[in-house]
């Protein structure tokens, strides 16, 4: 199922909490919510002005490309933390870093 | 465990003297149970009751405050595991770390740059919270000089990083009288670090690898009379960090487990680690470098996750410039519900055409809801036009109403007689087309 989430800065917190609630409900046995969740942080993040626009924006926004990629990664990882199962990304660098994050998250530590 | 209103009532004088501002002790007890008042508002509680209440009333996660020169970073005091259960209250502090192996002049220059960083997001000015100075030189004097360099370039709160008590001591001395955070206490140095924290009223960070060690350490440190503690777990990966942060939060909230009832500090080195730290419970984030392109999205994420899910997020009412509008460009009107604002602003932005966006105070409601509630009408729009001096900004007085409230156009004409009133599309997605066809 697609909980339809906004990008970072554009209502991500709604989707974030909807997903946490869906996952909690699923774990408590609500079969309606026991489906993997697919999210599209790549599409959402690259729709934002922060990712799309490189000129005429405040200097405090920093380097355009890195900002855009960070926007996508932080959107994606936040959704990952709230229960996303499939993430559709856009930039190769984001794919690389989000994949690495997923691999790290899947390791079960022996001691913590 | 937290006491109920009735349990608290039994510990109060039960004289109903009203000095606390409530008609009865019971009313006051109820407020106290809901954590809406302070026990100190009642002047007559017995010492014995005070101790009993203090113990039960102490927040499960201690509130830690770092202050300096009028700046304050408050973290901890959280009450839920998931933000939808209530809200996350105290935003984690974002600190930038430098080390004493670079020349003082360069430290100053870099600190100044990060210190002056400010970015506006939906009417809120976002900045970093403070700086951390790490002792890498191994030289106490050098460290003190580096700490001084930071303090000369910024007035924000500081964290001193070293596991060598001698270095920490000289860093503290160079800050005359300030109470920063010192980090970190470990199994070997904790006694000395606790003494330093006590004598300088500093917040003490503990640094360990596993939760059990952290538990032992905080108990020992508390035994020395230091209570302002922050937990640092040197996690090697996202998985361990997630487990540790979740366990700390869970044990503190669900079991009122005091040895871990403190905020945490993390040292993220990537966008993924930083995003996890914000969403999953970090109290402090110490970044090892400062770049705008990283800090900007991070501060926005913090802002988003820490908004109260029960309250609609609002945008500051005002007149927003999109695509550098000139006096001849049109004025579009919308409400200050953030999602409404974002969708409209994003579409106008995407159209590539310049416009003024007038955001009215509709108490955070969307266009239709606000209209139905009487919070978005001709009178309010006209008032916004006046209070934000919109007429002085434009030469051609054209104002575009959202299509959903087309009915307002007659009344608005009456309110703003010298303005040309246009009715825009119902949906934000149709704005670019409308702008190109009708406004160009
Ligand atoms: S001040 Fe104290 S004693 Fe007086 S009414 Fe309030 S709670 Fe009761």
> Which pLDDT tens digit goes with each residue over A78-101?
999 999 999 999 999 999 999 999
Q: Give the Å distance between the CA of B14 and the centre of ligand 1.
A: 7
Distance (Å, whole) CA B235 – CA B244:
8
Three-state helix/strand/coil letters over B100-161: CCCCHHHHHHHHHHHHCCCEEECCEEECCCEEEEECCCCCHHHHHHHHHHHHHHCCCCEEEE
Task: Decide if A100 touches B, using CB distance below 8 A.
Answer: yes
- Total domain count, chain A: 1
pTM: 0.81
Rounded CA separation B61/B76 (Å): 6
Residue A26 lies in a domain: yes
In chain B the first and final C-alpha atoms are separated, in Å, by 65
CB A74 within 8 A of CB B301: yes
DSSP string, B286-336: EESS--HHHHHHHHHHHHHHTS-TTS--BPPPEEEEES---TTS-EEEEES
Q: Does A34 touch chain B (CB under 8 A)?
A: no
Query: Domain for residue A3, yes or no?
Result: no
Residue B383's contacts (CB-CB under 8 Å, 6 or more residues apart) are none
Vertex A34 angle, CA A29 and A35, to 5°: 175
Closest atom of ligand 1 relative to the B17 alpha carbon: 4
Which of the pair, A6 or B286, is modelled with greater confidence? B286
Q: Is the dihedral of CA B380, B120, B156, B252 positive or negative?
A: positive
For residue B428, which phi and psi values (nearest 5 degrees)? -60, -35
Pairing of strands B318-322, B93-99: unpaired
Q: Taking the CA of residue B295 as centre, how many other CA atoms within 13 Å lie in the half-sphere pointing to its CB?
A: 30
Q: What are the angstrom distances between the C-alpha of A100 and each of A93, B108, B229, B243, B360?
A: 11, 35, 32, 18, 44
- CA pair distance B210, B213, nearest whole angstrom: 6
Q: Is A17 on the interface with B (CB under 8 A)?
A: yes
Query: A100 in a domain, yes or no?
Result: yes
Asked, for residue A2, whether it belongs to a domain, the answer is no
Mean pLDDT of A47-67: 92
CA-nearest residue to B310 within chain A is: A14
Q: What is the pLDDT of residue B5?
A: 87
Distance from Cα B253 to the centre of ligand 1, integer Å: 29
Chain B residue numbers touching A77 (CB-CB < 8 A): 271-272, 275-276, 279
Say if A34 falls within a structural domain.
Answer: yes
| Backbone phi and psi for residue B290, each to the nearest 5 degrees, phi listed first | -120, 115
Q: What CA–CA distance (Å, rounded) separates B216 from B194?
A: 14
Report CA B180 to chain centroid distance, whole Å. Answer: 19
Q: The tokens of B73 are what?
A: 């970073």
Judged by CB atoms closer than 8 Å, whether chains meet at B83 and A67 is answered as no
**Chain B residues in contact with A93 (beta carbon < 8 A):** none
**Cα–Cα distance measured from residue B275 to residue A78, given in angstroms and rounded to the nearest whole number:** 6
Domains of chain B: 5-57 (1.10.15.40), 64-305 (3.20.20.20), 318-439 (3.40.50.11600)
Give the number of the atom of ligand 1 that is nearest the alpha carbon of residue B19.
1
Tell me which residue has tokens 């156009």: B409
With respect to residue A54, please indicate whether it lies within any of the assigned structural domains: yes
Residues in B touching A11 (Cβ below 8 Å): 338-339, 342
Nearest to B228 by CA among B262, B185, B188, B251: B262
Closest atom of ligand 1 to B23 CA is: 5
| Residue (of B418, B429, B243, B237) closest to B350 by Cα position | B429
Tokens of B355: 């416009």
Using the mean position of ligand 1's atoms as its centre, give its distance from the Cα of residue B27 in Å. 9
For residues B194 and B358, give the distance between their C-alpha atoms in angstroms, rounded to a whole number. Answer: 55
**Chain B: closest CA distance from residue A110 (Å):** 9
Please report the pLDDT score of residue B259 as a whole number: 96
CB contact under 8 A, B297 and A9: yes
Could you tell which of B22, B27, B40 is best to mutate to test the pocket of ligand 1, judged by most ligand atoms within 8 Å of the CB? B22
Which residues in A lie closer than 8 A to residue B305 (C-beta atoms)? 13, 16, 78
The answer to whether residues B229 and B221 touch, using CB atoms and an 8 Å cutoff, is yes
pLDDT of residue B102: 94
Query: Closest Cα of chain A to B206: distance in Å?
Result: 16
Q: Which residues of A touch B280 (CB under 8 A)?
A: 81
The per-residue pLDDT for B2 is: 67
Q: Nearest C-alpha to atom 8 of ligand 1 is from which residue?
A: B25
pLDDT at position B229: 98
- The residue whose CB lies within 8 Å of the most ligand 1 atoms, and thus the one to mutate among B15, B29, B41, is B15
Q: What pLDDT digit, counting tens, does each position of A8-38 carry?
A: 998 899 899 999 999 999 999 999 999 999 9
Q: Give residues with Cβ within 8 angstroms of B103, minimum separation 6.
A: none
DSSP for residue B178: -
Looking at residue B244, the DSSP 8-state letter turns out to be H
DSSP string, chain A: -----PPTTTTHHHHHHHHHHHHHHHHTT-GGG-S--EE-HHHHHTTSHHHH--SSS-GGG--HHHHHHHHHHHHHHHHHHTT-SEE---SHHHHHHHHHHHHHHT---S--
Distance in angstroms (rounded) separating the CA atoms of residues B325 and B340: 21
Hey, is B93 helix, strand or coil? strand
Select from B281, B297, B347 the residue whose CB has the most chain A CBs within 10 Å, as the one to mutate to test that interface. Answer: B297
Query: What CA–CA distance (Å, rounded) separates B401 from B151?
Result: 51
- Interior angle at CA A51, CA A46 and CA A52, nearest 5: 85
User: CB distance B82–A48 less than 8 Å?
Assistant: no
Q: What is the value of ipTM here, to two decimals?
A: 0.98
Q: B99 φ, ψ to 5°?
A: -125, 165
Residue A52 belongs to domain spanning = 12-105
In the three-class reduction of DSSP (H, G, I as helix; E, B as strand; rest coil), residue B97 is classed as strand
Burial of B262 (0-12, 13-18, 19+ CB in 10 A): buried
Widest Cα–Cα separation across chain B? 78
Structure confidence at residue B189 (pLDDT) = 98
Split chain B (440 residues) into runs of 10 and give each run's mean pLDDT: 81 93 93 85 90 78 95 96 95 98 96 97 91 97 97 98 98 94 97 98 97 97 97 92 97 93 97 98 97 98 93 85 94 91 87 94 89 94 96 95 94 95 91 89
């Amino acid at each position: 199922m697609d909980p339809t989430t906004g990008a970072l800065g554009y209502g991500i917190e709604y989707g974030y909490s909807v997903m946490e609630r869906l996952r909690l409900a699923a774990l408590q046995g609500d079969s309606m919510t026991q489906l993997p969740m697919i999210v599209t942080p790549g599409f959402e993040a690259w729709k934002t002005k922060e990712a799309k626009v490189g000129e005429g924006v405040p200097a405090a926004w920093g380097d355009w490309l890195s900002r855009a990629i960070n926007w996508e990664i932080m959107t994606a990882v936040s959704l990952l933390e709230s229960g996303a199962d499939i993430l559709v990304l856009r930039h190769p660098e984001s794919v690389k870093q989000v994949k690495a994050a997923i691999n790290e998250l899947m390791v079960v530590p022996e001691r913590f | 465990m937290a006491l109920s209103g009735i349990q608290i009532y039994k510990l109060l004088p039960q004289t109903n003297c009203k000095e606390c501002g409530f008609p009865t002790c019971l009313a006051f007890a109820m407020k106290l149970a809901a954590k809406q008042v302070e026990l100190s508002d009642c002047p007559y509680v017995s010492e014995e009751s005070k101790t009993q209440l203090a113990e039960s009333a102490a927040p499960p996660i201690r509130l830690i405050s770092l202050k300096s020169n009028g700046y304050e970073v408050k973290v901890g005091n959280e009450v839920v595991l998931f933000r939808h259960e209530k809200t996350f209250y105290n935003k984690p502090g974002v600190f930038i770390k430098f080390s004493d192996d670079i020349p003082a002049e360069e430290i100053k220059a870099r600190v100044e740059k990060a210190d002056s960083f400010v970015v506006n997001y939906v009417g809120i000015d976002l900045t970093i919270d403070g700086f951390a100075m790490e002792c890498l030189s191994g030289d106490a004097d050098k460290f003190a000089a580096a700490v001084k360099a930071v303090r000369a370039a910024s007035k924000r709160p500081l964290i001193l990083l070293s596991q060598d008590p001698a270095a920490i001591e000289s860093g503290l001395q160079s800050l005359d009288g300030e109470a920063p955070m010192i980090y970190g206490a470990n199994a070997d140095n904790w006694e000395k670090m606790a003494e330093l924290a006590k004598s300088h009223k500093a917040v003490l960070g503990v640094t360990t690898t596993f939760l059990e060690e952290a538990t032992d350490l905080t108990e020992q440190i508390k035994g020395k009379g230091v209570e302002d503690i922050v937990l640092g777990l040197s996690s090697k990966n996202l998985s361990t960090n997630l487990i540790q942060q979740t366990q700390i939060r869970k044990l503190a909230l669900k079991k009122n487990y005091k040895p871990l009832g403190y905020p945490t500090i993390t040292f993220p080195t990537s966008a993924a680690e930083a995003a996890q730290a914000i969403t999953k419970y970090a109290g402090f984030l110490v970044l090892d470098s400062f770049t705008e392109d990283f800090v900007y999205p991070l501060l926005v994420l913090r802002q988003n996750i820490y908004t109260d899910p029960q309250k609609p997020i609002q945008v500051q009412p005002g007149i927003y410039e999109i695509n550098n509008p000139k006096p001849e460009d049109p004025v579009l009107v919308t409400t200050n519900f953030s999602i409404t604002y974002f969708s409209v602003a994003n579409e106008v932005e995407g159209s590539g055409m310049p416009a003024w966006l007038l955001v009215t105070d509709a108490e955070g409601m969307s266009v239709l809801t606000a209209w139905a509630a009487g919070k978005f009408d001709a009178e309010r729009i006209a008032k916004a036009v006046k209070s934000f001096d919109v007429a002085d900004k434009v030469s051609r007085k054209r104002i575009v109403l959202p299509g959903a409230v087309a009915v307002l156009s007659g009344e608005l004409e009456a309110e703003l007689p010298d303005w040309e009133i246009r009715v825009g599309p119902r949906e934000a997605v149709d704005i670019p087309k409308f702008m190109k066809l009708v406004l160009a």
